Amino acid sequence: MRRGIISAGNWLSDTIKFISHYPAVGNLVTIEKIDQGFGGCAHNVLADLARMQTGIPLYAGGCVGRDALGDEIFSTCEKLGIDTEGICRVDAATSYTDVMADMSNGTRTFFHHRGANAEFGPEHVEKITAEAKIFHLGYLLLLDRMDFKDEEYGVVAARVLDGLQKRGYKTSVDVVSEEGNRFREVILPCLPYMDYFIVNEVEAGACFGRNLRDAEGNILLDEVKAAARFLMERGVGEAVAIHFPEGGYGLRKSGEECYEPSFRVEPKDIVSSVGAGDAFCAAMLYALHEELPLSKSLRVANAAARFNLFSATSTDGAPTIAEIEKFLSQNE
């Protein structure tokens, strides 16, 4: 019986530089503090799963440069017990984002270098041979070669996902929010080749073609349910999970559905919401791997996202599965 989770796709370094104010063109400003960490779908999901200490084998896939940042990614994975055989070295620089954080008003400006992530293509996926149960691919819309058009499948990613299913994997996809027609052009052709689709309400609404919130910003649960049914009808094979700050909704192919509200956190206690979606996704993949009931799966995922809110980084707040179970037992 297959066991294990592969997460392949984006790997990048995030460097956050805190400045007193954003300077006018040609002017200088002093950087007050620098925070550096790793991110991207593949890193965040695997790091969260590793810190959960579930005992599930974890495998990494993607492209990094032949540089110091690439070395650090390998080192980080090895410390977390993540198999790195599926990470390829390429001549492009390891992808990175420089973030300028303006301390005067809390705004952030992002400068992203696509780098090695843009090199990740079908041939790299074919080199990943671990006989895991789930293959999680993301982020689509930030993997250039996966987003290219394909005459038969619509996009290259759909062809890759079909190949993965034929090799015996349960497939899962992660995406980034993007406005415009390209979102549907890339994602909709992939739906028939996904077993699981875990997305937030913005991404689900973009697929569905409708806003899942009303004019006042309130979540429209009936619209969330309609979006999940749409995704199933367009081809998702086994389960859809849609998460949002208020909770999470799940739908299985059998028609089983469930909504579980989020666990209350006071706004003043939230350190950062960065990575909360990846925490939900990682915990949901764990639950799907272990074939937990839908209600329990959503509660585990909501709890993982809640723990993430108390950390400044994407993954350092990740709880162990024992901590999640203890929290759930205290919050029935």
Listed in sequence order, the DSSP H helices in 53-200 are: 68-80, 122-126, 144-147, 156-166, 182-187
- Flag whether 305 is in a domain: yes
- Flag whether 213 is in a domain: yes
- The owner of tokens 């080749």 is 193
Helices (H) and strands (E) in the chain, counts: 11, 15
* 156: containing domain: 5-21+33-330
- Flag whether 193 is in a domain: yes
- Flag whether 28 is in a domain: no
Measured between alpha carbons, how far is residue 231 from residues 135, 187, 224 in Å?
Answer: 19, 10, 11
- Flag whether 170 is in a domain: yes
Angle formed by the axes of helices 41-52 and 294-308, nearest 10°: 100
pLDDT of 143 reads: 94
- Flag whether 256 is in a domain: yes
pLDDT string in tens for the chain (332-residue length) = 899 999 999 999 988 899 999 999 999 999 999 988 898 899 999 999 999 999 999 999 999 999 999 999 999 999 999 999 999 999 999 999 898 888 888 788 889 899 999 999 999 999 999 999 999 999 999 999 999 999 999 999 999 999 999 999 999 999 988 777 889 999 999 999 999 999 999 999 999 999 999 999 999 999 999 999 999 999 999 999 999 999 999 999 999 999 999 998 888 888 877 778 999 999 999 999 999 999 999 999 999 999 988 876 667 778 999 999 999 999 98
Pull the structure tokens for residue 25.
Answer: 């063109």
Can you give 215-261 as a three-state secondary structure string?
Answer: CCCCECHHHHHHHHHHHHHCCCCCEEEEEECCEEEEEECCCCEEEEE
Pairing mode, strands 196-200 and 239-244? parallel
Q: How many domains does the chain have?
A: 1
The CATH number given to whatever domain includes residue 288 is 3.40.1190.20
- Flag whether 233 is in a domain: yes
Angle formed by the axes of helices 221-233 and 201-208, nearest 10°: 60
Q: Which residues does 26 contact at the CB level (< 8 Å), separation at least 6?
A: none
- Flag whether 224 is in a domain: yes
